[in-house]
Structure 1
Amino acid sequence: MEKIKICGLPFKYFCPMFLILLLATYTGTLNHDVVGGMLFLFLFGGLFAFIGGSIPIFGSYMGGAVLLPLFGGSALVYFHLVPNFLAESIAGIMSSGAVNVFIAAIVVGSILSMDREMLISVTVRLLPCILISLFFAVVFMYLGTLITGKTILEGLFNVGLPNYTGGSSGALVVVPTIFSGIFHQQVGEYAGKFIVFMNISNLICIIFSGLLNRYGKKHPELTGYGILMKGSEKQVKKVEKEVHPMDKNLKKLGIGFAVSLIFLIVGNILQKFVPQLNFIAWAAILVILVKVSGFFNEDVCRCSDYWQQFVIGNFLFTLITGVGIASLDLKQLVSYFTISNFLIILLGVLGSVIGSLISSKFFNFYPIDAMIGIGANMGTVGGSGAISTLTTSERMELMPFAIISNRIGGALVVVLISLLLPLFI
């Protein structure tokens, strides 16, 4: 028991804190604000992660430390174990942009801490990899459509392609709007269905990431452990993670916080002019350009890295549990789950992963890292999906490439749907 730590706390300290939380939650005396919601997510998220990571096979092969917080949070709502006031508080926290703060910390910190030359080399190779991965995803989903006996409209456009439209905003708003204009149905007729399919795709991507991580440990020659391009190890060592003494570096947290969020602000401004790209994708592109230009000195870059490490180290499972409670509806997930739909979605993820594997050979990427960072992130729900896949695969350094793959790929698929859908009516 002495060696067990949950949320970083020794077991003997975690237990009384958790019991106090339970007492307050189920007697209605828990704070009805961000204080109560954040503590609930922090302690339950840490507990779910500890249990999920400890379960044999599920923990080591399927990313149990990520899946259990995600499903556990959703199950708490499904079985009415979260009081209404607390569910509303958590939904408010998640909808207020908590996920975006987390993603900004990772995207900005991971890019600014990279070697400049390596970043340029990787970025120019990324778009062809995205295109190849998308091509194979579409081909495999088409094969799934043929196998299941569905029409192209039913299998490809109504089940498969919406999962590759740049995250939950694509499934909830963009694609339903396209369908609504063509079929003259309410947007809501499509939004619920598409987001369920995307959640199924997201879960398959998480499982693939866990399996690929396990395979990479058995075959280390196939992976850079978070380094995408072969031969980049020397450049990475130049910006090796700094050990940050707490007393000397507290102000660096604030600098990293401000730098990460300013990119989101500018990204939001640019989205107003070019709405086809999500503001997070714009932020990722902008920070790459800033890093390549050399505008920030090394001290500012290290501050961003410090903020990233702080956020990941403390609030990762808090966030995933919040996503499960606020966004993953188990009842809806089950209602649209059929073998035929599952097969099409599964083949789409498989095709995307195979496409990134093939492209890795042409662009000198590590196969495992390309399959995770690009292939397994094309069909996720976006930012929170990238967090889940990269946590499961222990490759959070790939976050910028995962975000760009998901968003740029999503924009391309939206254009594809707009152009081709009318031809199959």
Structure 2
Amino acid sequence: MSLPSPSDTSHSQPRLQKWWHFFDSWKVGIIPLPIFALAGVLIVVDAVEGSFPSNIVVMTAVLAFCGFACGEIGHRLPLLGKMGAAAICATFIPSALVYYGLLPDPMVKSVTQFFKSSNILYLYICCIIVGSIMSMNRKVLIQGFIRIFIPMACGEVVGMLLGTGLGMALGLDAFHTFFFIVLPIMAGGVGEGAIPLSIGYASILHMQQGVAFGQILPMVMLGSLIAIITAGVLNLLGKRYPHLTGEGRLLPDDSKDGSTNLNEAPPSQFDVSTVASGALLAILLYMIGMLAQQFTGLPAPVAMLFVAVLLKLSQVLSPKMLEGSGMVYHFFRSAVTYPVLFAVGVAITPWQSLMSAFTVVNLLVIMATVLSLIGTGFIVGRKMGMYPIDVAIVSCCQSGQGGTGDVAILTSGNRMVLMPFAQIATRIGGAINVSVALLLLNHFMG
């Protein structure tokens, strides 16, 4: 067997260079086009055979292919692509495909089973939260947590008043407008908001929980959709008026403590052990949050958030460990966001519920509620010396669909680093709203 001559090698090198350039340059999301095509072929083969195992190997391929494909469609839409359409498409295209029977049933069942059994959403959220907290400036971190409650509270009051007032002006009953349209938007999503509300309504108003939940859920979903679009618009506004945004920071940051800007590229040096330690830190902190939930009732992501803040402020973690958390953040933000949103769309986003809320009156009331909440956050945040666009994007999360809404909203607004504040807005803010509303309802009906 003879070896290729040097001339043969020199002739083949340009062809290889062109192929490698094509391989590295043409991508769908982060996936090289040839790999993306291979994944599509294998998924079609599984669809024809009717076998979609719900194990992590197959589901990784399915979610990556479908999630980045839907995200790419949104990115390429004229104008809308710059307004958060990628997050919307990654969430709502699969929901519509499921409703109209355009996805194979075995795929839908496997994705749903994997999403619910693996808790991948919570893994995603905990890695994003820990990574963003560990990369923040310590002083700005604590100031941000203290100050963010003021624009949040002001926004909720204004949103409730204007939303209910507009509903009454359009001929709706004030009671129905407030308790079944406005309040569900700010209740913190489905699991922490719509379900507890429906249980409370069923008990106090003597109605079936399913009926109450069916009236509440569409408002939650439509409010989240409007918030996603608004976050994309705010991101565009920040690019046009840079002085209004900190690109993921709520407050001007004049001091340096080794923190990094997570909207910038990750460090070029890649240390596997550092990244692995950062990922394990996020997982262990979430486990601590789960234990705290059993004793305090505080949602696990929020309890984990407070523990992460304490670790950051105490400076017990080394700079290398903090860097590892930042690398984990970058990985999950770039590689896992659209696959997770696709799984959310398939597993827990009922298309028919969203469509049932599309009446003119509902749309006007929901838009007035969400936009007044966000606008108040913008104005109050600016008056307090905070970056108004970033405060407004956190305010968007007050009307989001829980943790899934936070992911979609912050992806649309390109501000994933604000996830800790988003969790405060949705979970703590939502829990307060639900508790106060049920107490008021029980008082007036009792």
Query: What TM bracket, shorter-length normalisation?
Result: over 0.9
- Per-residue Cα deviation, 1:268-290 (whole angstroms, up to 9, x for no partner): 22222333x32212222221122
Of 237-246 and 114-123, deviating more is 237-246
Question: Secondary structure of the equivalent of 1:379?
Answer: coil
Q: Counterpart in 2 of 1:323?
A: 344
Provide, for residues 110-138 of structure 1, a one-character-per-residue CA deviation record: whole Å limited to 9, x for no partner: 00111111112211212222211211111
Distance in 2 (alpha carbons) for counterparts of 1:294 and 1:238: 12
Partners of 1:376 and 1:32 in 2: CA distance:
34
CA deviation map 1:192-226 (0-9, x unaligned):
33222111111000000011111111111111111
Aligned residue number for residue 417 of structure 2: 397
From 240, 261, 267, the counterpart of 1:218: 240
Contact 1:34 1:89 in 2 (8 A): no
Instruction: Verify the 8 A CA contact 2:277 2:324 in the aligned structure 1.
Output: yes
Aligned to 1:252: 274
Q: Retained in 2: the 8 A contact 1:74–1:324?
A: yes
**Partner SS for 2:401:** coil
AA matched with 1:314: A
For the residue of structure 1 that corresponds to 2:78, the secondary structure is: coil
Of the structure 1 ranges 298-307 and 21-30, higher mean CA displacement relative to structure 2 is found in: 21-30
Contact 2:135–2:259 (CA under 8 A) maintained in structure 1: no
Q: What's the % identity of the aligned pairs?
A: 27
AA matched with 1:389: I
Matches of 1:57 and 1:282, distance apart in 2: 39
Q: Secondary structure at the match of 2:82?
A: helix
Contact 1:104 1:264 in 2 (8 A): yes
Counterpart of 2:85 in structure 1 is 64
In 2, Cα distance between equivalents of 1:29 and 1:92:
14
Q: 1:226 to 1:237 in 2, by over 3 A?
A: farther
The 1:157–1:206 alpha-carbon spacing in structure 2 relative to 1, beyond 3 Å, is same
**Which piece of structure 1 moves more, 203-212 or 338-347?**
338-347
5+ residue gaps, structure 1: none
Matched residue, 1:382:
402
Partner of 1:367: 388
- 1:150 match: secondary structure: coil
* Number of residue pairs matched by the alignment: 419
Shift of 1:244: 4.6
- Say whether residues 1:351 and 2:372 are aligned partners: yes
Q: Distance in 2 between matches of 1:226 and 1:56?
A: 25
Counterpart code for 1:419: L
The offset of 1:78, in angstroms, is: 1.5
Aligned partners of 2:38, 2:282: CA distance in 1, in Å?
A: 36
Q: Does 1:42 align with 2:73?
A: no
1:77 aligns with 2:98: yes
CA distance in 1, matches of 2:433, 2:146: 20
Give the Å deviation of 1:32.
4.5
Aligned-residue RMSD, C-alpha: 2.0
Verify the 8 A CA contact 2:54 2:111 in the aligned structure 1: no
- Higher radius of gyration, 1 or 2: 2
Partners of 1:252 and 1:307 within 8 A in 2: no
Q: How many Å apart are 1:36 and its aligned residue?
A: 2.5
TM-score normalized by structure 2?
0.89
Unpaired stretches in structure 2, ≥5 consecutive residues: 1-20
Q: Is the 8 A contact 2:87 2:411 kept in 1?
A: yes
Alignment TM-score, normalising by the size of structure 1: 0.93
The residue correspondences of 1:255-334 to structure 2 (distance < 5 A) are: 255-275=277-297, 277-334=298-355
**Equivalent residue for 1:418, pick from 438, 441, 444:** 438
* Cα distance in structure 2, aligned partners of 1:78 and 1:159: 24
- Show CA shifts across 1:316-366 (max 9, x none): 100011111111111222123322222221111112102211221232111
Distance in structure 2 (CA, Å) of the matches to 1:385 and 1:79: 23
The aligned residue for residue 253 of structure 2 is: 232
Distance 1:236 1:324, change over 3 A: farther
Distance in 2 between the 1:298 and 1:107 partners? 17
Measure, in 2, the Cα distance between the counterparts of 1:32 and 1:294. 41
Cα separation, 2, equivalents of 1:233 and 1:50: 37
- In 2, Cα distance between equivalents of 1:27 and 1:144: 54
- Relative distance call for 1:86 and 1:416 in structure 2 (3 A) is same
Which aligned pairs between 1:195-206 and structure 2 lie closer than 5 A? 195-206=217-228
Please tell me the residue identity of whatever aligns with 1:282: A
Deviation at 1:30, TM superposition (A): 3.9
Amino acid at match of 2:334: G
**Which string of whole-angstrom CA distances, capped at 9 and with x for unpartnered residues, describes residues 263-314 of structure 1?**
2222222222333x32212222221122122232222222211111111121
Counterpart of 1:409, as a letter, is G
Structure 1 distance, partners of 2:249, 2:256, is 10
Alpha-carbon spacing, 1:297–1:13, altered in 2? closer, same or farther (3 Å): closer
Contact kept? 2:378, 2:392, Cα under 8 Å? yes
Amino acid at match of 2:363: F
